[in-house]
């Protein structure tokens, strides 16, 4: 069971309130769980795309981010670093924050980061149940992808 901190729309932890994964429909209006997204750009200018597992929502779609919900007690940066490592095997200690936004539909408080890496491009690790494939592509290739194959529209503005 994943336990999350509850946040307000200003990204402040609501003391004394916790949320549980799978119970998003029970989250009251104005309350959010923290979601960390990481856009990965290699020093050669290509971006890492991860293909979603067919058992997940939006099966087989490509995402230009690694990420997920921060666990109780994690800061946005800590959650992003952990999710990046779990979903790709890439270890980073520094990320650049790109943007913050909230969604009343998903009750998500989203913090997007950029990771610039010089990792071995063949060393990406797939996380069982999350992803089934990966590829490194140029920004131009991403811009040509349709909304039926590319899921990470929040990241499009940051892709060069």
pLDDT tens for the chain, 160 residues: list them. Answer: 899 999 999 999 999 999 999 888 789 999 999 999 999 999 999 999 999 999 998 999 999 989 999 999 999 999 999 999 999 999 998 999 999 999 999 999 999 999 999 999 999 999 999 999 999 999 999 999 998 998 888 888 889 8
State which CATH number among 1.10.10.60, 3.90.1150.10, 3.90.79.10, 3.10.20.30 fits the domain covering 3-158.
3.90.79.10
- The answer to whether the CB of 34 falls within 8 A of the CB of 109 is yes
Place of tokens 């952990």: 82
Closest of 90, 98, 72, 80 to residue 136, by C-alpha: 90
Domain ranges of the chain: 3-158
**What is the C-alpha separation between 108 and 72, in angstroms, rounded?**
14
**What is the C-alpha separation between 3 and 68, in angstroms, rounded?**
13
Q: In angstroms, how far is CA 29 from the centroid of its own chain? A: 23
pTM, rounded to two decimals: 0.92
Q: What confidence tens digit (pLDDT) does each residue in 72-110 have?
A: 999 999 999 999 999 999 999 899 999 999 999 999 999
Residue 129 has what pLDDT? 92
């Amino acid at each position: 069971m994943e336990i999350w901190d509850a946040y307000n729309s200003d990204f402040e932890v609501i003391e004394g309130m916790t949320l549980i994964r799978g119970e998003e429909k029970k989250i009251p209006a104005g309350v959010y769980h923290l979601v960390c997204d990481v856009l990965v750009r290699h020093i050669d200018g290509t971006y890492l795309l991860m293909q979603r597992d067919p058992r997940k929502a939006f099966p087989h779609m490509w995402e230009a981010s690694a990420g997920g919900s921060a666990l109780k007690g994690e800061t946005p940066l800590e959650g992003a670093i952990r999710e990046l490592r779990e979903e790709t095997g890439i270890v980073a200690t520094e990320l650049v924050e790109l943007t913050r936004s909230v969604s009343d539909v998903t009750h998500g408080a989203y913090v997007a980061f950029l990771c610039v890496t010089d990792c071995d491009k063949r060393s990406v690790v797939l996380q069982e149940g999350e992803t089934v494939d990966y590829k490194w592509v140029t920004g131009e290739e991403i811009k040509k992808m349709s909304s039926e194959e590319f899921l990470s529209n929040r990241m499009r503005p940051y892709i060069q």
